[in-house]
Chains A and B, each alone.
Chain A
Amino acid sequence: MTLPEWMSVAGENGPARPARSRHAVGSRWVRRAANGLAQLMAETLDQRTTCSLPGYLQGLDPRAKVVGLLGLVVATTLVHTGLALALAYAFAVVLALASGISVRRVGQVWLIVPLFTLAIMLPATLNIVTPGKNVGVIWQGVQGSLGPWRLPETLAITDTGIQAAVRMTGRTATCVTLTLLLAYTTRADRLFRGLRSLGMPAIFASVLTMMDRYLHVVAQAAHEIHLSKLSRTIRSGGIRQDHQWVAAGMGSLFRRTEALGGDVHRAMVSRGYRGDVHPMTDLTIRTQDGLFLVGCVGLAVMMLGLG
């Protein structure tokens, strides 16, 4: 079977190739964006699934989790010893396992921020950033310059530099793990209601809840925009056309979002919305929430004691 005439590009030998080919590398970025959006939607669905699993943290009141886990995040940013950070991280891992979150998922957290932090912190292990006792010499006795910069005579990794890098990476990993525990064990609407009852202005809590609800819809619309581009791309039209397509995509998404906002508002008004959102269930603090809070406060005090 041969391609019809109209699918061939005039003036070139052979038929035009589909977007995946090396001749259409210009569409890789569309595929990457579409994959990113699909991943975002999958992640939100995955979070919702994990939130409904039977587990220790899932059974707690969102306010207790917000105060306890975010309190531990703050405590983690205040401590500097490896032991204190290790305690907080171990506590987070135990909580994750008790809540049905797999070790793999806890490990995946490292791919988000801590590895990035480790990469950024590598130069901080050097004596030119963090002076200390040299534990590994990279070069010595060099005299020269690199453009306007004079090269140091000795470039070495220092013990204090390694400590600083490990501390920063450990601290970041612990904070991200604690924060994601909250996200993976608390439905967004309950999380924002918890924040509301802890003093967040009502308008913020309502907007956040609704934003979470429609984020999936807007992401889906953006995903469709990218898929339609991919499915119609035979070859790239050049960067100028690509830029115009991105702008049209963003503009079109804005208009769809705005129209959806109007539809949602009219639907809310027709159901009796007058500016206040009333939750259907009440949040209640039980003994297990109190025990969890006591545990978190105790750990935070211990961490601060260790310094």
Chain B
Amino acid sequence: MHIPDGYLGPQTYIACAAVVVPVWLVASAKLKTSLRSSQVPFLALGAAFSFVIMMFNIPIPGGTTGHAVGAVLLAILLGPWAAVIGVSLALIVQALLFGDGGVTAIGANCLTMAVIMPFTGWATYRLIAGNAPATSLRRGLAGAAGGYVGLNAAAFATGTLVGLQPMLAHDAAGRALYSPFGLSVALPAMVGEHVVLFGFVEAIATGLVLRYFQRTDPARLVPDPAALEAPRSLLKRLAIGLGILTLLSPLGLILPKAVGAGAAWGEWGSDELKDVAGYVPVELARIESTWRAPLPDYAPPDQAEPPMSRQVLTYVGSGVLGGLVLVGFILALRRPLASPDRAS
């Protein structure tokens, strides 16, 4: 997944570096407060571990092997910010001293493998593990799921960065100046192999190492009481964010009207499709009539052209209703899906 020099144009590698540098600064500041003077050897050895763990071969049924990146494992064991620094440093040394991954692509490689991967994997782990006891199977499975999701998120980001190149940098004749493969090739190629194969390698490595610690050193996996408080404040912030977004949602109604834009591409109803294609496919018309939504197009029902104020109110109301239905659905599923460990 290491992008070499020459695959990304300057627009991309400069933008990636601009995103990663502030993350490094925040990570550095976070660790400074938590690790104090032992920070340097702790991080140095963590980075060396991150480097070497990539060299462990993991057997896969069929006789082949893969290797894990270990970013999610590091995030679970040391915290996501330490993982950002540890994996970033390992990637910098790989690029500068071993030519593995480009120097100009350090920002991009760190963004995918040292930022996106540990954070998505760690969040998945936290979401699934919840408050489960340190030795529960659920925690091991959560680690495996975190490894799988984290690696695939990183692969998706890498495929997107490489696949954007023909669009971002091309000559007057439209020929790509850097990687010539567009999103339609780069994304399936990069994501496909990780979804089918390497994601499972990462999942096996992360899950089994956690199981190893559960057997030998479970205290390491005991949830931090302070961290357990975090989901509550996180939920509060999420609820506020959701409320703001719901209130802002009518922008999607007002702005297209203001600039005279049509329906979103591919989201046409049969009447709009008739304008675009000149006819309505028979099967589409048949299937369209099988279900009548109570609030079609988030608009007041049975009114051809309602006033904008009414449309806005119905839009916001639809957002609130949709949110409540989803929250109710998840709460209803919570009890049957909750681990028996949690009740103890």
* Residues of chain A at the chain B interface (Cβ within 8 Å): 25-26, 29-30, 32-33, 36-37, 40, 43-44, 47, 70, 73-74, 76-78, 80, 109, 112-113, 116-117, 121, 123-124, 129-130, 132, 160, 164, 168, 171-172, 175-176, 179-180, 182-183, 188, 191, 201, 203-204, 206-215, 217-219, 222, 239, 242-244, 246-251, 253-255, 257-258, 260-262, 264-265, 268-269, 273-275, 277
Contact = CB atoms under 8 A, between A and B. Distances in A.
9 contacts: A175-B104, A204-B24, A218-B48, A218-B51, A247-B205, A254-B209, A257-B48, A262-B38, A262-B41
B111 interface: no
Nearest to B62: A239
Contact of A257 (B38, B45, B65): B45
Interface of B: 4-10, 13, 24-25, 28, 32, 36-49, 51-53, 55-59, 61, 63, 65, 70, 73, 77, 85, 89-90, 92-93, 95-100, 102-104, 171, 173, 175-181, 185, 204-205, 208-209, 211-213, 216-217
B208 A243 contact: yes
Contacts of A132: 175
- Best-surrounded residue of B52, B61, B176, B179 (most CB of chain A within 10 A): B52
Main secondary structure of the interface of A (DSSP, over half): helix
A199 to B, nearest CB: 11
A85 B211 CA distance: 51
B41 A268 contact: yes
Given A73-B5, A249-B56, A260-B45, A210 B99 contact: no
A208 B89 contact: yes
A273 to B, nearest CB: 7
Given A207-B44, A218-B49, A219-B48, 11 more contacts: A77-B10, A80-B171, A109-B99, A160-B175, A172-B7, A172-B102, A212-B93, A244-B212, A262-B41, A274-B37, A275-B40
A222 B5 contact: no
Contact of A29 (B9, B57, B212): B57
Given A176-B5, A219-B52, A246-B208, A211 B99 contact: no
A248 B48 contact: no
A261 B46 contact: yes
Contacts of A262: 38, 41
A179 B185 contact: no
B59 A239 contact: yes
Contacts of B5: 73, 76-77, 171-172, 175-176, 179
Given A29-B57, A215-B48, A251-B209, A117 B93 contact: no
Nearest to A246: B58
State the majority secondary structure of interface residues on B.
Answer: helix
A36 B100 CA distance: 14
B4 A172 contact: yes
B52 A215 contact: yes
Contacts of A201: 25, 28
B40 A179 contact: no
B42 A265 contact: yes
Contacts of A40: 55
A164 B99 contact: no
A76 B6 contact: yes
Contacts of A180: 99
A234 B185 CA distance: 45
A244 B59 CA distance: 11
B244 to A, nearest CB: 35
A31 to B, nearest CB: 9
B38 A33 contact: no
